[in-house]
């Protein structure tokens, strides 16, 4: 393995080697004595680096420079043979053989004037104000500068009240250091990042949130949520035909699209109503609604903002030739909830389980509907048995 290059250090206080006779000029030779001929030394191979350091009397202490701790150690060790042995042992070691003090290295790094890079959150204190912004000490060679428009969400009319001198602030680094070491920081950008994180968590948890409508356009209404501008399309409003009248009102919404990259926050009131209604339902519950539509495969029943499907196979246990033999549009229906799928917005209903005997709804529908509350207890037992057999 190739050794690292070594450094030769010559100290001024080292004793100078005695001049060799062969190096004295003839003019300085004693009178009557012929000039001495230069002594020819036998030629030997060039020594390697370790040998050269040992011959020249250099130690690793010489290479690394003065170290008070090392001198104290040498003084405690004493001289003589022990000191010579230690010197010889040290001379044969390379820099890689010495221990690395990681704690000392990290401490040295902390003393440097490093500041956060772009996109990092840093803490600091207000040290100065100008008409166009705030200076924040963030531990760098120069303070960070926060332009007035970056001092927070919304409009800030009085910087002095909002950022008094000495106030602790948390900001986001948004600009690289300039030639003076100053970076650009922003409280607004940090607040926006935190708002998007909150909204994404609300979406993940399937939460319904309350927002105040503050504007409208042809496509829907706008609102404010955690300092972000949200949009509710007309198709996602319960009163979409009169959306202008919603300005100033508070509505419950949930999330259709949350995209920080494109800054799109699309909300839905209809989906929120569905989510809230689903939270009130459970399998086996008796519900009441109005037949909203009759389809070849069953009836859609409006349950107050959400629809449930009463499939043709779940209407009666008798022979049903036409759905309208039992229910028509506008009729009130009491039915059992047999399945819930909030993710797909589906509710399965059943009236056949309320019959005392197969086909009773075809003969006396009104009686079955009136006694639905009492009959539901027996129907729930049947549902539990079906669930146990299926599970």
Residues in the chain, overall count = 391
pTM, whole model, 2 decimals?
0.54
Tell whether the model's pLDDT for residue 300 goes beyond 90.
Answer: yes
Q: CA-CA distance, 212 to 198, in Å (whole number)?
A: 18
> Which region among 14-18, 77-81, 94-98 has the lowest average model confidence (pLDDT)?
77-81
Question: Hey, do 206-270 and 281-390 end up sharing a CATH topology, with the first three levels equal?
Answer: yes
Task: Summarize the confidence of residues 356-364 as an average pLDDT.
Answer: 91
For residue 97, is pLDDT > 90?
A: no
Reply yes or no on whether the pLDDT at 118 is more than 70.
yes
Residues 298 and 312 sit within 8 Å (Cβ to Cβ)? yes
* CATH homologous superfamily for the domain 206-270: Nucleic acid-binding proteins (2.40.50.140)
- Residues 139-163 have a mean pLDDT of 85
The pLDDT of residue 111 is above 70: no
Sequence-ordered list of residues with C-beta below 8 angstroms from that of 215, at least 6 positions apart, any chain: 221, 222, 247
**In this predicted model, which residue has the larger pLDDT, 193 or 22?**
193
Q: pLDDT per residue over 201-259, tens digit each?
A: 999 988 889 999 999 999 999 999 998 999 999 999 988 888 999 999 999 999 999 99
The Cα-based distances of 292 to 17, 42, 61, 241 in angstroms read 114, 116, 95, 20
Long-range CB contacts for residues 29-38, cutoff 8 Å, separation at least 24: none
CB atoms within 10 A of CB 207: 14
Instruction: For domain 121-187, give the fold.
Output: OB fold (Dihydrolipoamide Acetyltransferase, E2P) (2.40.50)
Residue 106 pLDDT class (50, 70, 90 cuts): low
Domain boundaries, the chain: 121-187, 206-270, 281-390
pLDDT at residue 370 tops 70: yes
d(CA 186, CA 120): 11
CATH tag, 281-390:
2.40.50.140
CB 215 within 8 A of CB 246: no
The predicted structure's pLDDT at residue 34:
52
* pLDDT of 116: 59
Q: What is the mean pLDDT of residues 58-76?
A: 44
What proportion of the chain, given as a percentage, has pLDDT over 70?
70
Q: Are 223 and 265 in contact (CB under 8 A)?
A: no
């Amino acid at each position: 393995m190739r050794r690292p290059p070594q450094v030769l250090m010559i100290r001024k206080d080292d004793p100078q080697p005695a001049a060799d006779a062969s190096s004295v000029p003839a003019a300085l030779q004693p009178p009557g004595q012929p000039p001495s001929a230069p002594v020819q030394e036998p030629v030997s191979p060039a020594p390697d680096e370790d040998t050269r350091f040992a011959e020249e009397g250099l130690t690793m202490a010489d290479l690394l420079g003065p170290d008070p701790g090392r001198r104290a150690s040498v003084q405690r060790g004493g001289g003589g043979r022990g000191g010579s042995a230690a010197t010889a042992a040290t001379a044969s070691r390379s820099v890689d053989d010495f221990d690395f003090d990681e704690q000392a290295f990290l401490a040295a790094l902390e003393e440097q004037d490093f500041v956060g890079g772009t996109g990092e959150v840093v803490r600091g204190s207000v040290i100065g104000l100008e008409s166009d912004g705030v200076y924040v000490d963030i531990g760098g060679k120069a303070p960070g500068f926060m332009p007035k428009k970056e001092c927070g969400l919304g409009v800030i009319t009085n910087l002095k009240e909002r950022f008094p001198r000495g106030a602790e602030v948390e900001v986001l680094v948004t600009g690289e250091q300039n030639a003076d070491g100053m970076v650009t920081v922003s409280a607004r950008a940090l607040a926006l990042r935190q708002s998007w994180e909150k909204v994404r968590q609300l979406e993940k948890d399937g939460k319904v949130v309350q927002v105040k409508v503050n504007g409208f356009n042809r496509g829907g209404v706008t609102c404010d949520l955690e300092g972000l501008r949200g949009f509710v399309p007309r198709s996602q409003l319960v009163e979409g035909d009169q959306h202008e009248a919603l300005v100033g009102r508070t509505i419950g919404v949930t999330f259709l699209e949350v995209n920080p990259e494109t800054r799109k926050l699309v909300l839905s009131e209809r989906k929120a109503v569905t989510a809230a209604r689903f939270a009130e339902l459970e399998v086996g519950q008796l519900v009441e609604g109005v037949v909203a539509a009759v389809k070849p495969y069953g009836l859609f029943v409006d349950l107050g903002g959400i629809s449930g499907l009463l499939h043709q196979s779940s209407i009666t246990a008798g022979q049903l030739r036409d759905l309208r033999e039992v229910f028509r549009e506008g009729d009130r229906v009491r039915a059992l909830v047999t399945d819930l799928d909030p993710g797909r917005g589906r509710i399965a209903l059943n009236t056949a389980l309320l019959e005392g005997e197969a086909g009773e709804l075809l003969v006396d529908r009104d009686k079955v509907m009136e006694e639905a509350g009492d009959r539901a207890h027996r129907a729930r037992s049947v549902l539990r048995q079906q669930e146990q057999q299926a599970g």
